[in-house]
Structure 1
Amino acid sequence: MSLQQLWLMCLNYPSQVVNGLALFLGLAGGWLLLATRLREQRAQARLLLDGELAALEEAGLGGDVRSERLNRFFYAFGAASLLAALLLSWLSTGLQAAAPL
């Protein structure tokens, strides 16, 4: 398929192109949220096995501040990408194909 044919398909079906972008953003955001949650669970399990979790809770410390900040960023970025995917999908319903030349 040549680049010209690909461009014509994008012009003829703009809603599908935008929906494809929304699908990509949704998959990437969902994967990021899932990977962050798994990373948190593994870190907690590692601390529990080392016996450090009880000592941290007694001292009133929640854990590593940098890791918590990074996890918050990943959660916010994943949620923002899911929201962007939802908005793109919603906005693509109003797109129409370009008029033929």
Structure 2
Amino acid sequence: MPGAAGERTDLSWQRTGLGVLAVAGLIGFRAVAADRPALVVAAGLAALIGLGILGGLAPLRYRRLRDHRAAGAGVSCPALIRAVTAGVVLTALAAAVAVLIPG
């Protein structure tokens, strides 16, 4: 199956975006439950990051992977990987703040 690796990569990027969105939802729930309006901003930013990964970076990565593979070129894309990593780290920091700082 020559296209299976690309499909698995695409699905993993989608799962990453969905995971960030899920964490954003949990941060939002914590914000409402603890009556902490500042966390609503953090939840909103995390949701935007998740939507950016899911709707922007994941499809871009899939198209680049498909095009590079068709051209016989390497499929590495460090800039996109750094962007997604930064988004996940920022979301994790927001979640840590939501959990560790008492409300």
TM-score, length of structure 2 as denominator length: 0.44
The normalised TM-score by structure 1 is 0.44
The structure with more radius of gyration = 1
The structure with higher relative contact order (CA 8 Å, sep 6+) is: 1
